[in-house]
A and B are shown apart, each in its own frame.
Chain A
Amino acid sequence: MDRRIFGLETEFGLNYVPSDGRRLTPEDAARHLFRPIVAWGRSSNVFLENGSRLYLDVGSHPEYATAECDQLLQLIAHDRAGEALMLDLVDQAEDHLAEEGHEGKIFMFKNNVDSAGNSYGCHENYLIPRKIEFKRLADMLIPFLVTRQLLCGAGNLVQVDDETRYVYSQRADHMWEGVSSATTRSRPIINTRDEPHADAEYHRRLHVIVGDSTMSETTQLLKIGATDLVLRLIESGEIYHDLRLENPIRSIRQVSHDFTGQTVVRLMGGDEPTALQIQWVLFEAVKEFVARHGAHHDRVEQILELWERVLTAIEAQDFSTIDTDIDWAIKRKLLLGYAQKNSLELSSHRLAQLNLTYHDIDPARGLFHLLKKRGLATSVVSDEQIRDAVVNPPATTRAALRAKFIRAARATGRRYSADWVHMKYEEGSGGIVLAKDPFAITNPQVDELIRIMSQPV
């Protein structure tokens, strides 16, 4: 697809640290955090005026789902807006807790594991044409997703063979199958829950749940941008190497644990390329595809440059060319630098704390943000773009319609409801609009619904 709808869902880790010894459970902390949301929308599951959805998910994880986006930088700005919204809720909750006599701090982490090894996700949604055969798509996409952690893993410290090792991915050790409909019990790389939030005759949703949450905007650009390019290649129907994996789940762990990229990934056909070789094959196929068909947006060149630079760095085992752009490399430099300076082992509690605090979304103490402030992590959107995304929807998708409806409805003070495709006036003669086209930014029915709502009952 030349124009695709993207969405990112991020579950955040939440921890309350009391300074007065009085602990709060994650459930209680989440309840305090969502107090202003419940006051605003009478629910802990709401659609906001920027078109996004904010809610409490399984395990009391605050979750932010971006509005429908159709451009990468727009998506990145909206994902970052979710962090800004969460930070604002943290500020308000800490103030409120203090009023109730609880002195302490709330920490929110944009990562994928807690200290007991529980995992929570960052889900990517891509709108794809219904006509694509899903089995073929999964067969072609899984080899890419299993090795994509080389490009965009968030880095983690894990126990491998009785030693603590720094690995590519947070999520790799928590995946259990290639494709299925599960999300919590047995997590697949691709989830088959097909909620296109669009005309199901023409579209379906590709729901990728294997990815790490991303701190670096540049890494995010590569993660989503490269995946979109591989999807374009698959959608074109062109044939390239058969890379179907013999055992994706065994491979995803082995790839994560080996920083050389030389781990052998056994294919169904019996070949044994390395993780790095699989990435090179896919990179070359995409590059060649772009050379023949042209770039479909103005960041394609940057994405290909980044992709190639990462693979070259891993091949040379010299990460200095990517250690301001790619999450695992940025964090690795920080952790190893600190360990060396303080003569600490990777297994020390302090290193575990650094590994966690890299993902703290608070700009005053989160280590990623402190690096960024020092020019040690690159960005692709401005603070102004993020502030704009906090209050305004993407102007080029259905989110603009939803935002228009929610604003108008709230101005009337009347009861309304909204979700990804519905907008409903709950009072008077009522009325409901089904907006199935995620690309449509105008809809006369929505205007009519707003007009009805604005009239005296």
Chain B
Amino acid sequence: MTQESFSSRKQHETQEHAEQIQVSTTGQSAGVDDLLDEIDSVLESNAEEFVRGFVQKGGQ
């Protein structure tokens, strides 16, 4: 694969980097609580359906 095919992903990473700088000023314990608050907005809403839907044959 060529380097060009990763261009879309690189943009995400630049944005993340900006976020990272902001987040690091908030400190660690705030980080855990923030994330526990934020998790519900990140996760797919129907937990049961999401988990049950992930069935794949076994691999090695």
Contact = CB atoms under 8 A, between A and B. Distances in A.
A binds B: yes
A260 interface: no
A354 B42 CA distance: 11
29 contacts: A15-B53, A17-B50, A36-B1, A49-B2, A57-B59, A57-B60, A58-B58, A59-B59, A91-B9, A92-B5, A109-B54, A115-B54, A120-B56, A121-B59, A184-B59, A338-B36, A353-B43, A353-B47, A354-B39, A357-B42, A365-B42, A370-B38, A371-B31, A373-B16, A374-B34, A375-B24, A376-B31, A383-B17, A387-B10
Given A15-B54, A114-B54, A373 B23 contact: yes
Interface in A245-259: none
Contacts of A387: 6, 10
Interface residues of B, number: 41
Interface string B5-42: 11011101100110110011010100110111011001
Contacts of B8: 88, 91-92
A452 interface: no
Contacts of A184: 58-60
Contacts, number: 149
A302 to B, nearest CB: 21
Nearest to A174: B58
A221 B28 CA distance: 23
A313 interface: no
Contacts of B59: 11, 57-59, 61, 63, 118-121, 184
Nearest to A373: B20
A121 B58 CA distance: 9
A373 B58 CA distance: 32
Given A15-B54, A349-B47, A209 B60 contact: yes
A116 interface: yes
A123 interface: yes
A349 B51 CA distance: 7
Contact of B3 (A334, A338, A391): A391
A14 interface: yes
A132 to B, nearest CB: 25
A357 B13 contact: no
Contacts of A370: 35, 38, 42
A261 interface: no
Contact of B55 (A85, A118, A338, A348): A118
* B35, B47, B60: most-surrounded residue (chain A CB, <10 A): B60
Q: Which 9 A-B pairs have the closest CB atoms?
A: A120-B59, A59-B57, A374-B31, A118-B58, A349-B47, A349-B48, A353-B47, A61-B59, A183-B60
A8 to B, nearest CB: 13
Contact of A375 (B12, B31, B51, B55): B31
Contact of A383 (B13, B24, B42): B13
A352 interface: yes
B38 A49 contact: no
* B16, B20, B43: most-surrounded residue (chain A CB, <10 A): B43
Contacts of B32: 333-334, 337, 374, 376
A443 B54 CA distance: 46
* A63, A353, A383: most-surrounded residue (chain B CB, <10 A): A353
A356 B51 contact: yes
Interface string A168-192: 0000000000000001100100000
A91 B13 CA distance: 14
Given A338-B36, A365-B42, A367-B39, A118 B23 contact: no
